[in-house]
Structure 1
Amino acid sequence: MEEKKLHIIKQVGLMYLKHGIRNVTMDDVATEFGVSKKTLYQYFNDKQDLVSQVIAYFMEDPELNVHNPNPGNAIDDMFHIRHKVAYIMKMYNNNIEMELKRTYPILYQKVRETKFKRIYENTFENLKKGINEGLYRSDLEPTVVAKLLVGRTLYTLNPDYGIFEDYEINSLAFFDVILDYHMHAICTAQGIEYYKKRIN
């Protein structure tokens, strides 16, 4: 991707997080980068195309990739995910998804499907790994547990349903409560012992 276009995509993403998608016009973007709208339209067909490319870029952002580059055991990998969650919370604005749902429903559905797939696959692989290492219970059904985790993330933690407030969902302490609940449900005695060492 051309360097100038990539720079615009990254910065517009930050503008969306700060101001919301609806409040950032193509005129705003052109002004921000000191280019004409004609120049801007050489990179993007219209605002919908810009929004689509920004979302696509951030969905593939390596900083958001939860795969551990220095993998240890399955519990180490869970703490790597926790580190990524802390990073995401610093930049995430839940209103963005709500705007996508109202204004760009097809794009919103794509984001949800991607989240579903990633959460499911990452959880499924982590569960299999932990079971093989003797850190997670051998009687677990990875498929069922992974789907339950997807449901918790996409339904229970969705502020639309009013189960939890935004300030709770966007708190790392809240994530730690969920992590603790999850680990005590799936770990063997050996796994709990290792988990407690990691959190102390």
Structure 2
Amino acid sequence: MKEEILAKAEQLFKKYGIKSVTMDDLARELGISKKTLYQHVPNKAELIQTILENYTCTEKEALKAIRDHARDAIEEMLHIAAFIVDMLREMSDTALYDLQKYYRQSWEMVQKLHREHVYEVIRNNLERGQREGLYRTDIDPAIIARLYVGKSFVVADDDFFPAGEFRMTDVVHQHILYHLRGVASEAGLRRLELYLVTQTTENQ
């Protein structure tokens, strides 16, 4: 029952935002009483925390699968970007805003996990790209990975990219291209352009 509650809550939060969805709404959508709901989830804050913890586990598994199946470092980064864009398309901008404003502790937990895990993912990708000859050898993976993580927080910050002015999917796409074109070698740039042309053709 708890998994059903978490799945329905995540669906509602993504669609309508977090603040506007009440525990009454959730119970009604599930067709259960509030008493039954609270037997499985003590409060909304803990519900949100559990959903975010589950998501971070799913994200780790997804990024590992992307790394294992990507033909090279550049394809891995493009697939990571596609994964993030797909995730954001499922989530309303309101949900991200609510998380930052009203559930600060949960947001800070997400930031901490993001900082630690994504740093490792990007650093490993940079080292892979250097071994493959697709990334410049004059960059320091540890420094660039930290810069990437720092920029990621700016991308998700509503103060920098207000939801009414920017689509988060567009911002993420530009962020990835900005990063790749900065770290790629000449061979890497040619490979990147080849992948981008292929993506464009497939999307037409």
The normalised TM-score by structure 1 is 0.86
Tell me how large the CA RMSD over aligned residues is: 2.1
Residue pairs, 1:14-163, within 5 angstroms: 14-62=11-59, 65-67=62-64, 68=66, 69-155=68-154, 157-160=156-159, 162=160
| Counterpart-to-counterpart distance in 2, 1:54 and 1:82 | 22
| Counterpart-to-counterpart distance in 2, 1:169 and 1:123 | 24
Runs (4+) off by over 4 Å: none
| Aligned-partner SS, 1:159 | coil
Q: Which amino acid aligns with 1:41?
A: Y
Residues 1:102 and 1:79: Cα distance change in structure 2 (over 3 Å)? closer
Higher relative contact order (CA 8 A, sep 6+): 2
Q: Does 1:198 align with 2:195?
A: yes
Match of 1:171 among 169, 172, 179: 169
Residues 1:156 and 1:20: Cα distance change in structure 2 (over 3 Å)? closer
The normalised TM-score by structure 2 is 0.85
- Cα-to-partner distance string for 1:1-55 (whole Å, 9 max, x where unaligned): xxx2112101111111222222222211111111111211221112222222222
Residues 1:81 and 1:171: Cα distance change in structure 2 (over 3 Å)? same
Instruction: Between 24-33 and 64-73, report the one with greater CA deviation.
Output: 64-73
8 Å CA contact 1:74, 1:127 repeated in 2: yes
Residues 1:37 and 1:165: Cα distance change in structure 2 (over 3 Å)? closer
Residues 1:135 and 1:18: Cα distance change in structure 2 (over 3 Å)? same
Instruction: Between 50-59 and 63-72, report the one with greater CA deviation.
Output: 63-72
Q: Which amino acid aligns with 2:137?
A: S
Q: Which amino acid aligns with 1:136?
A: Y
Residues 1:74 and 1:99: Cα distance change in structure 2 (over 3 Å)? same
Structure 2: give runs of 5+ residues left out of the alignment: 198-204
Alignment coverage as a number of residue pairs:
194
- Cα-to-partner distance string for 1:83-122 (whole Å, 9 max, x where unaligned): 2022112112333333233333221210111122232111
| Counterpart-to-counterpart distance in 1, 2:49 and 2:174 | 34
